[in-house]
Amino acid sequence: MLDSGRLDGPEQMALDAGLLDRARATGEAVLRVYGWSRPTLSFGRHEVARARFACAAIERANIGVVRRPTGGRVLLHDREVTYSVTAPAPDGESVGPSYRRINALLLDALACLGVRAAATPAGRARRTPGAGLVSCFAEPSAGELVVDGRKLVGSAQLRERGALLQHGSILVDDDQGRIVEFAAGPLAPAPPAATLRAVLGRAPSYAEVREALVAALAAREGEAATLDAAEADHFAAPHRARYGSAGWTWRR
């Protein structure tokens, strides 16, 4: 277990990528919880962004920007709690079992908060990343967690060389409508997402959501040791240049 607190986008993505390396090297899984030091747009690994977003508008609004190691569509990270899970993943193992196992943990944590969420059933077609420049939260894909049909948790998983990274946003409030402010062309706003505030009638704190995740993990897997931040920093170091690079962020 690791709580990284609020850091900028490149640092958070470097930590996720580094912990993926650590899972591969040690065979150990880590649940990480984190936030964002300022509002930050993140693009999916393969999403077309360069011609679709206005850098000047992003800079004027003091919005950070980063490209994720995982796929999917654009997100605006702000009033949320973000989680990541890194773990060994045998070659040839399908995504489904690990995705469902992590979903079960998330559902338990949400239940601890008093939120009754459910996984979207299979059968939904996933849009091409960037199609219509819609937010990740515009519509749920199969397996994603929803309340009354609206997405509450947006997650993506990467499996690479014997390890997996799954990370995602648990919305406290819905900031996704702001994405239209940074588009280079016309864009229809995404429909409202579900939020913890709307479901609970209040906004739980970062610490409250973190503790719900820790409790859910302990109930399923036993008490988790706390990962030393210096060790996480060591694994993140080789990735900082990439995630801090405009060339990587705007490569497509």
CATH number of the domain within which 75 lies:
3.30.930.10
- Look at the chain and report how many structural domains it folds into: 1
Cα distances (Å, whole numbers) of residue 183 to 38, 51, 139, 159, 210: 19, 9, 19, 30, 32
pTM: 0.92
112, 216 Cβ separation under 8 angstroms? yes
Residue 189 reports pLDDT greater than 90 = no
- Please tell me the predicted confidence (pLDDT) of residue 125: 47
Higher pLDDT pick, 238 / 72? 238
Give the pLDDT confidence of 125-153 residue by residue, as tens digits.
444 444 454 677 877 777 899 999 999 99
- Please tell me the predicted confidence (pLDDT) of residue 123: 59
Please list the active-site residues. 136
Give the pLDDT confidence of 41-90 residue by residue, as tens digits.
999 999 999 999 999 999 999 999 999 999 999 999 999 999 999 999 98
Higher pLDDT pick, 136 / 166? 166
Domain extent for 17: 2-103+116-195+226-245
Rounded average pLDDT over 16-37: 98
Query: Does residue 15 lie within any of the structural domains?
Result: yes
Query: Does residue 208 lie within any of the structural domains?
Result: no
Cα distances (Å, whole numbers) of residue 100 to 80, 83, 215, 229: 22, 15, 18, 28
